[in-house]
Amino acid sequence: MNLQEILSNQVKAAVKSIFDADLESVEFQATRREFAGDITVVVFPMLRFVKGNPVQIGEQIGQYLVEQVSEVKAFNVVKGFLNIEIEDAYFIAFFNAMKQNESYGFVSPKPEDKAVMVEYSSPNTNKPLHLGHIRNNLLGYSVSEILKASGKQVYKTQIINDRGIHICKSMLAWKRFGNEETPESTGLKGDKLVGNYYVKFDQEYKKEIQQLISEGLSEEDAKKSAPILVEAQHMLKLWEAGDPETVALWEKMNGWVYEGFDETYKNLGVDFDTLYYESQTYLLGKEFVAEGLKTGVFYKREDGSVWCDLTNEGLDEKIVLRSDGTAVYMTQDIGTAIQRVKDFPDVGGMVYTVGNEQEYHFQVLFLIIKKLGFEWAENLYHLSYGMVDLPSGKMKSREGTVVDADDLIVEMSQTAQEISEELGKLDGYTEAEKQALYKTIGLGALKYYILKVDPRKRILFDPKESIDFQGNTGPFIQYTYARIQSILRKSDFIDIDNVILSAVEISLNDKEKELIKQIELFPEVIQNAAAQHSPALIANYTYDLVKEFNSFYQNVSILGADTETNKVFRVQLSKTVGNVIKNAFSILGIEVPERM
């Protein structure tokens, strides 16, 4: 049991013993720095069960704890807050128990627990990944890793949007203007080559619209009747009919894009366990619409279209099948979700990493699946996130003004190189070691800057600001980790791994105790981050731990400690902090360098 669990049980016992009342829960908070104490019990919520003055109630509970609980050394009460001081022996025993555990904080999955499938990325195959996709991928990947660390079996997946008018636009533009060029002949990544033709289509489309307007058509009519759009729509019909030439072109250009995506994912450090393709799933769901019609979940209108009435749930009516019998996106999303559980029978819930503009869609989707009678519908979650803006404004794919993911990754490494060279701390590194370090710092900066923000909030991303070596940034935390590794290299003459020190040998100072208290929080932070699907909790916890370590480093002599016992303990403590930083950053998908 951790300290909160121990104290929670004992505070409940105190209230039962003193006041003959049963507490449902005990509320804790960190003790304010101006008061003595290691943890604080908030008395005010108890007043629902215990009548009286909160200060007197706190005094009586505190006295009980000092007399009955070996871990409690002293207490003080400030208004309705019971501040509790804990014996050094508790912290030292905790530290000795966990310091050798390199996977500290991580929980192994139980075989009987249901797995979770996390969907992220899910790009269109008409353009390369951009900054918005980066936030999506980083969130989805890190939430997957956090859920794993919390004890869940996790499957990472994506559904690739490889069909529809968007890919036909790129295909048609390449057919008209491409002169048979390929990624090999141009030296371009396949996704970039295809993306260029998506932009080219839009340019030609706009020219045709202006031409038609000059000939007397309204803007609305011109947009609908522009020849290049009409031809793209015809190409989509040919694809759906299985026309061999159209399908062959579609397979070729999508193949280029997949290779490009794979390279970007590798550079970004994200992966997937399984892939779904819209071209294979867009017909799914119809059978469940038929079932839902029989059970009254759906109803048919006079024109033959099928709808779901969600007005009693505060939503509206949603179409699930057009009058011509074709599916809509909602239909295929229903079918895909059910197919995934068929493919992975141990899945009992799903997380969809999709921008906040789709919140209503997922409300409807989850409710319909629930109405269809699937128990796992209770465990569906939309990981909704805000857009990413740049100081220069919004991005637009059609106009080619997006921030390309590959370009940004390269830019981050280059910025890391410029700053590292200015600081002049890379003497003795080979060129290969330097380049690897620049990438580690650059990617760490990018990932941390995005993940430290609550997913629901919009981000203004500033690459230069993210690579600052001071403040709440990835490089600042990476630098602290590297500093700890330097301490360990200098202390290699000390046998820190096999020495277990007792409370009799060590008297903790305030800095040491604060560090251990911060370390003890890590497992709880992982569980909270998993429950809230928020990497920001892990990121900001790590920053707080690093701030605490740097305060310890600046105020307490480690290798120059006054006794050998203190030296060994402080090196052990430093090593443990480094291990927690590494574990925390690993579930954010961020590497830590041994030297910086």
Is 229 in contact with 222 (CB distance < 8 Å)? no
The pLDDT-based confidence of 211 (bands split at 50, 70, 90) is very high
The pLDDT-based confidence of 395 (bands split at 50, 70, 90) is very low
d(C-alpha 4, C-alpha 39), whole Å = 8
Check residue 483 and give its pLDDT: 96
The pLDDT-based confidence of 79 (bands split at 50, 70, 90) is very high
User: In the chain, where are the structural domains located?
Assistant: 3-86, 164-270, 446-586
Check residue 553 and give its pLDDT: 97
Mean pLDDT, residues 89-111 taken together: 92
Check residue 20 and give its pLDDT: 96
Check residue 549 and give its pLDDT: 98
Report which DSSP code applies to 499. -
CA angle 160, 164, 169 (to 5 degrees): 110
Q: Is the pLDDT of residue 363 over 90?
A: yes
Backbone angles phi, psi at 117, to 5 degrees: -105, 125
Q: Is the pLDDT of residue 396 over 70?
A: no
Mean pLDDT, residues 523-531 taken together: 97
CATH topology of domain 446-586: Isoleucyl-tRNA Synthetase; Domain 1 (1.10.730)
Strand order across the beta sheet in which 81-86 lies: 28-29, 39-42, 81-86, 72-78
Least confident of 68-72, 150-154, 500-504: 500-504
Check residue 494 and give its pLDDT: 75
Report the CATH number of the 3-86 domain: 3.30.1360.70
The predicted-structure confidence for 290-322, as pLDDT tens digits, reads as follows 999 999 999 999 999 999 999 999 999 999 999
Q: Is the pLDDT of residue 410 over 80?
A: yes
3-state SS class at 82: strand
Mean pLDDT, residues 236-240 taken together: 94
Check residue 106 and give its pLDDT: 96
The predicted-structure confidence for 453-470, as pLDDT tens digits, reads as follows 999 999 988 888 888 888
Contacts 24+ apart (CB under 8 A), 295-298: 295/372, 295/373, 297/368, 297/371, 297/372
Is 45 in contact with 24 (CB distance < 8 Å)? no
Check residue 390 and give its pLDDT: 75
Q: Is the pLDDT of residue 262 over 80?
A: yes
CA neighbor of 211 nearest in space, from 199, 227, 230: 227
Mean pLDDT, residues 55-70 taken together: 97
Q: SS3 sequence, 279-321? A: HHHCCCCHHHHHHHHHHCCCEECCCCCEEEECHHHCCCEEEEE
Pairing of strands 347-355, 299-300: unpaired
Check residue 138 and give its pLDDT: 98
Q: Is the pLDDT of residue 475 over 50?
A: yes
Q: Is the pLDDT of residue 56 over 50?
A: yes
The predicted-structure confidence for 131-170, as pLDDT tens digits, reads as follows 989 999 999 999 999 999 999 999 999 999 999 999 999 9
383/130: higher pLDDT: 383
Check residue 400 and give its pLDDT: 47
Backbone angles phi, psi at 385, to 5 degrees: -135, 155
d(C-alpha 185, C-alpha 198), whole Å = 19
Q: Crossing angle for the helix pair 227-240 and 190-214, nearest 10 degrees?
A: 130
Mean pLDDT of the chain: 94
Check residue 392 and give its pLDDT: 65
Contacts 24+ apart (CB under 8 A), 560-567: 565/501, 565/505, 565/506, 566/506, 567/491, 567/494
User: How far is C-alpha 305 from the geometric centre of its chain's CA atoms?
Assistant: 39
The pLDDT-based confidence of 397 (bands split at 50, 70, 90) is very low
d(C-alpha 196, C-alpha 265), whole Å = 20
422/572: higher pLDDT: 572
